[in-house]
Structure 1
Amino acid sequence: MIGLPQSTEFNKRIPKQKFYENLTVSATLKQSFVDQIKTIYWRNKIAASTVNIAEGNDVEEIEIFEIKLTGESIDEGILRQMDKEIPYHILFLLEYEGKYQAWIGYKEEAQSGSVAFKVNSYYHTDWLQTDDLPVQMEGLSIDAVYENFVRQIAGDSLKVTNQESLKESVDRDNRRQQLQKQIDKLQQKVRKEKQLNKQIELNNELKKLRKELVEL
């Protein structure tokens, strides 16, 4: 799939029960697995042993999972649970009625605790034909391939500025989303506020947040 070398093909079906038999998984998430997923296939493994590129310092392998859905939406918790259970980086290809979405999380090593990785942000494409997915294996190391996958799928959200690292791009995008939420809440407060002096105060705060958003 997505034009990957034949040497990366794995094509192993994984029972979805594997991911929700864990006692710590909530009943709601278990039901999401049951209701939203038909099948899960481990399609490819990108590693120094399967492609002729250098090993990564941060990314050991990238697994390609194809998930056939019962509908157009998925509980993001499903992907988080799979990312939690698999100690490698994962590119998800979701399929529904012949169209695909590519999903990937910015997955970094956890600083503490028993979890090997943590995922702070997920990015995904629109529903597209397989050939139209903006996903290509590019880079001279596994680290570079992973970074390019994330940037390709995220699109303008992680557009590179000043040669920043992937982590810096993700942090900047997270800050942008936080600012937009703050702006939306403040706008609602302004519309409801009756006192003129309070309106002026809120609008001044809005200007500051909008200025920071533009500068990002």
Structure 2
Amino acid sequence: MSAPLYRWPATAKFGRVIPKTKFYEHATISTTVREKFVNEVQRITWAYKLADETIHLRCSSTVPEIQVFTVDAKDDDVSETVLTAIDKAVPFPIIFEIIRGTGNYAQTRMIAAHKQLGSTPPQLSAYFATDWLPADTPRAPLPPAIDLPSLYSGLLTPILPFATRSGEKMSEVIGRMDQARKLEREIAGLERRIRSEPQLNRKVELRRRLRDRTAALAALTDPAARTTEDAPWRS
């Protein structure tokens, strides 16, 4: 996904290294996930705190602050399992920057899940990410925003897998993407069944269902569409 790295405001700089053990204390983490922390993560830094007192944007109960964490990878990447454990331990939305390599070979990518507060643990969407970019890539200014919720949406929008619709709330976008992922899995399953189905009449029915699901997926991912209430897969 082609999207920028952001130039975080100097007034929001925090720069505190967080020991991995802190996340073990604030979340239920299995032995397997702890091993991933040890094997994949070199260092976790709470790099920036985007809040009313640091960047003068009004907060809300849904987005009281936005944290920016940089995670230095020991190898090629850090798994989403580790990011999920961090996300669930921190009661604020997080934007991650994963850093791999050193010197001229250093690369960075931004990755984040949409986090909905109000439950324990908070609800997380799938993770969305930029491509890997050279660490010295020029950074873009923050997207324009009137408050922290709109800033959060503005940060996430460029890394979403398809375009948002006019006037669509971020929670609605995430819901639409969840539906699209379910349809993609169903389409893949139908394609496998069609390849292996020996009976012509059943194959014809499977192809009809595949056309319906494919049309429904196209409607879900069309930025010009306003609703999916009449999508064929719902009937």
TM-score by length of 1: 0.90
Structure 1 portions without partners, runs of 5+: none
1:136 CA displacement: 2.7
Aligned to 1:202: 206
**Which of residues 60, 70, 73 in structure 1 aligns to 2:74?**
70
Distance 1:152 1:43 in 2: 21
Does the 8 A contact of 2:77 with 2:100 survive in 1?
no
Between the two proteins, the alignment pairs up a number of residues equal to 211
**Which of residues 107, 117, 121 in structure 1 aligns to 2:115?**
107
User: Identity rate of aligned residues, in percent?
Assistant: 26
User: Using CA pairs below 8 Å that are at least 6 residues apart, which structure has the higher relative contact order?
Assistant: 2
Aligned to 2:196: 192
Does residue 1:139 correspond to 2:139, yes or no? no
Aligned to 1:117: 122
RMSD value, Cα? 1.9
Map 1:46-85 to 2 at 5 A. Answer: 46-85=50-89
Over 3 Å counting, the alpha-carbon distance change for 1:158 and 1:136 in structure 2 is: farther
Which shifted more, 19-28 or 58-67?
A: 19-28
Does the 8 A contact of 1:9 with 1:44 survive in 2?
yes
Does residue 1:129 correspond to 2:134, yes or no? yes
Aligned to 1:39: 43
Distance 1:23 1:163 in 2: 36
Match for 2:142: what amino acid? Answer: Q
Which shifted more, 189-198 or 133-142?
A: 133-142
Does the 8 A contact of 2:77 with 2:98 survive in 1?
no
Does the 8 A contact of 1:134 with 1:153 survive in 2?
no
TM-score by length of 2: 0.83
Distance 2:107 2:211 in 1: 42
Q: After TM superposition, where is structure 1 displaced by more than 6 Å over at least 4 residues in a row?
A: none
Distance 1:134 1:121 in 2: 24
Does residue 1:148 correspond to 2:154, yes or no? yes
Aligned to 1:18: 22
SS in 2 for 1:64: strand
Structure 2 portions without partners, runs of 5+: 221-235
SS in 2 for 1:53: coil
SS in 2 for 1:73: coil
